[in-house]
Amino acid sequence: MRKVVVVTGANSGIGLALCQRLLSQDDQIHLCLACRSMQRAEAARSALLSSHPSADVSIVQVDVGSIKSVLQGARILTQRYKQIDYLYLNAGIMPNPQVSLKAFVKGLFSRKVISMFATGEGLLTQKDSVTEDGLQKVFETNVFGHYILIKELEPLLCHNNNPSRLIWTSSSNARKSAFSLSDYQHRQGQESYSSSKYATDLLSVALNTHYNIKGLYSSVVCPGLVMTNLTYGILPSFFWTLIMPVMWLIRLFTNSFTISPHNGAEALVWLFNQKPESLDPLAKYHSCTSGLANSYVTPLKMDLDDTSSLSFYEKILDLEKQVRKRFVPGNC
Ligand SMILES: NC(=O)C1=CN([C@@H]2O[C@H](COP(=O)(O)OP(=O)(O)OC[C@H]3O[C@@H](n4cnc5c(N)ncnc54)[C@H](OP(=O)(O)O)[C@@H]3O)[C@@H](O)[C@H]2O)C=CC1
Ligand SMILES: CC(C)CCC[C@@H](C)[C@H]1CC[C@H]2C3=C(CC[C@]12C)[C@@]1(C)CCC(=O)[C@@H](C)[C@@H]1CC3
């Protein structure tokens, strides 16, 4: 039986590099690209097939920023497959990012300079908006849409005899201080990205607590700083091109400047090859690249605990109930 691997946000950046790498290591898998744009999904499928002509690649429309689309996409996947072995929850956004030049210059002359480059802490703010579902867009896209997808696919993911895997693309930008349980969608602050990634980490821990017994395991990854559409949205592309030599230089001091999507996908590919029981649910698996361009994976303990993850999970369950009331069968 072919292993079924579903990847959200598979049409560009880290998601597409992950697909290329998975097919290079095992062209017997069935890969399903879950994307919001069918045109971009088709283009990604063609690119994958041109480098792996015998690969088995399909596409499905899933916009994780829309509950209606997630429910429709999940319905199609349920008709198509009996089991999903790997679900990569990779799609993500960072809308309207602003870099604080003042914080950057201050950071350059502080003791925290390395960690500033590794995490972007204190440098970025975003302007979020509200979706047609009435949820904060960054929260719905990066966290909640994915959560609903998992819940809808539960029958395909929970098989005790043959465990399935959830692998989230989180970030080292996830920060406890940007997240608040009383404002978990981050309606009030300006660090919706950081908050959403911290929420991702909390959710993954809670999912392990509830679902390991049913044969479902969740892990989180940080791909490092990778040049993708997301990062090109932070500063103009000519600026990134200009400072590329500086980026290689910074790599001598921090292993988190993975830079290429191929390197960024290191931990996502590594996790594919691990036995889930051997993994630490409280660790984030970081893709790292050395100054000599060698890629490797480092697990680092996350700044959270079971109690806070379960408190957040209760909030998510409440929100799910509210949202499902609006999407009873026949209403969507
Ligand atoms: N680049 C970096 O340095 C880092 C990235 N990450 C995370 O990596 C993940 C991948 O991002 P990256 O490859 O960098 O950036 P890209 O912008 O290249 O990829 C993001 C992917 O997500 C998709 N996507 C966005 N919104 C939705 C949506 N509503 N529904 C479905 N798909 C959607 C995009 O599709 P479309 O083409 O249609 O927009 C695209 O395929 C994200 O979760 C990001 O937060 C984490 C740490 C560092
Ligand atoms: C490298 C240059 C000389 C100056 C660039 C300054 C900043 C724009 C970058 C420094 C650290 C970067 C960073 C991210 C974005 C760009 C920086 C703030 C991220 C927050 C991008 C998304 C992520 O998820 C993080 C892992 C990145 C961490 C580092």
C-beta of residue 12 within 8 angstroms of C-beta of residue 51: no
In the residue annotation, 193 being an active-site residue is answered as: yes
Query: How far is Cα 206 from Cα 200, in angstroms, rounded to an integer?
Result: 10
Pull the structure tokens for residue 38: 């069918």
Q: Residue 226 in 3-state DSSP?
A: strand
Average model confidence (pLDDT) for the chain? 96
If one residue of 8, 11, 12 were mutated to test the ligand 1 pocket, choosing by the most ligand atoms within 8 A of its CB, it would be: 12
Nearest to 134 by CA among 328, 325, 329, 330: 325
**Pocket residue to mutate for ligand 2, from 117, 192, 254, most atoms within 8 A of Cβ:** 117
Decide if 68 contacts 149 (C-beta within 8 A).
Answer: no
Task: Give the pTM.
Answer: 0.97
CB 264 within 8 A of CB 88: no
User: pLDDT confidence of 128, banded at 50, 70, 90?
Assistant: very high
Coil, strand, or helix at residue 250? helix
Determine contact, residues 220/200, Cβ cutoff 8 Å.
Answer: yes
Q: How many residues does the chain have?
A: 332
Of residues 222, 90, 82, 85, the one with CA closest to residue 165: 85
Of these residues, 86, 193, 211, 313, which one is catalytic? 193
Q: Nearest-5° angle of CA 176, CA 227, CA 273?
A: 75
Indicate whether 37 pLDDT > 60.
yes
CA distance linking residue 143 with residue 133, whole number of Å = 14
Q: Per-residue pLDDT for 332 more than 90?
A: no
| Cβ(60) – ligand 2 distance below 6 Å | no
pLDDT in tens, 180-198: 999 999 999 999 999 999 9
- Quick check: 192 and 199 in contact, CB under 8 A? no
Closest residue to atom 40 of ligand 1, CA basis: 9
User: For the residues 24-35, what does the mean pLDDT come to?
Assistant: 96
Q: What is the mean pLDDT of residues 296-320?
A: 97
328 pLDDT band (50/70/90 cuts)? confident
Q: Report DSSP letters for 33-82, one per residue.
A: EEES-HHHHHHHHHHHHHHSTT-EEEEEE--TT-HHHHHHHHHHHHHH-S
Encoding tokens for residue 97?
A: 């990012």
Task: Lay out the sheet containing 30-35: strands in order across.
Answer: 56-61, 30-35, 4-8, 86-89, 164-169, 216-222, 283-289, 295-301
CA pair distance 128, 230, nearest whole angstrom: 15
